[in-house]
Every structure is written in C-alpha cells, then in structure tokens.
Structure 1
C-alpha cells in the first residue's frame, strides 16, 4: 500500500489540455467536495493534490494572459 501512495504522489498530472475556465470550474468542484466532507483520508489527499495542481495551472494561465496583455500594451505605446 505504501508503494501506491508514493507513486501517486510523485506523478504530476498533465493539465495542458484544460483551458483556464475548465480548470477553474474543476478546482471549485474539488474545493466544494473537500468542504462538504465525507471523503476518506486518501480521497481527501488526492483531491487536495488535484486542487493544488489545478490552482497552479490556473495561475500559469493568468500569468500568461497578463504577459500577453503587457506585451500588447507595450507594443501600442512604442
């Protein structure tokens, strides 16, 4: 059983196929499930890890959008 936990924790989910809105919606669902409770410890940990990955993905999408906006604004001023 310890090997299963270790292998799942070391895997990084591929979220590249998710757009910002999809990732945000899934993140909100994960938070809702965690707040509602009723999950086992393993389910809670898996949901938390998924939520962390989704939050990082959303932040990266927002950072990318900000960089594009900054570049567009900078290009108009120059």
Structure 2
C-alpha cells in the first residue's frame, strides 16, 4: 500500500478497479494516461487480493477452530 494513499476497503478498491477497466476499455486516452490507469489498476487488484487472502485465512481459521471443538 502506498504511504500517500489511505487503505481502501475491498468494496472501494473493487469499485475503483471496475472504473479503471471501463476507462481503459473505452479508449480515447493518451499512452501516458493509459499507463497510469494500468498502474492504478494493478495497485487496486493487489489491494483486492490482499483483502480476499485475509478473508480466506480467517475462514480457514474459523473452520479449524470449529472442527477442533468437542461435540
């Protein structure tokens, strides 16, 4: 995460990523703008993956804890 940008929620990052993809698909941007959008999209995709990995880890931990409890 960049120090100059606050951490986004998963939903915020996903929404912004969708918008970045729309702009790239629509075209009409300069090469420099396209590269900046691509880089931002990569950052947003990494943020989303971070959130998903964390959620997967929490689910796995919860399932393991639940399975270890005696019935």
Q: Answer yes or no: same fold by TM over 0.5.
A: yes
User: What TM-score comes out, normalization by structure 2 length?
Assistant: 0.88
Q: Which runs of 5+ in 2 are unaligned?
A: none
1:20 aligned onto 2:32: no
- Inter-CA distance 22–39: structure 2 relative to 1 (3 Å threshold): same
CA–CA distance in structure 2, aligned partners of residues 28 and 59 of structure 1? 14
Structure 1: gaps of 5 or more residues: 1-11
- Cα distance in 2 for residues equivalent to 1:38 and 1:68: 42
Distance in 2, matches of 1:62 and 1:50, equals 18
Which contiguous aligned blocks of 4+ residues in structure 1 show a shift greater than 3 angstroms? Answer: 12-16
- What do the CA deviations read for 1:10-44 (whole angstroms, capped 9, x no partner)? xx634552000000000000000000001000000
Aligned length: 67
TM-score (norm 1): 0.80
State the alpha-carbon separation in 2 of the partners of residues 27 and 17 from structure 1.
14
Q: Secondary structure at the match of 1:74?
A: helix
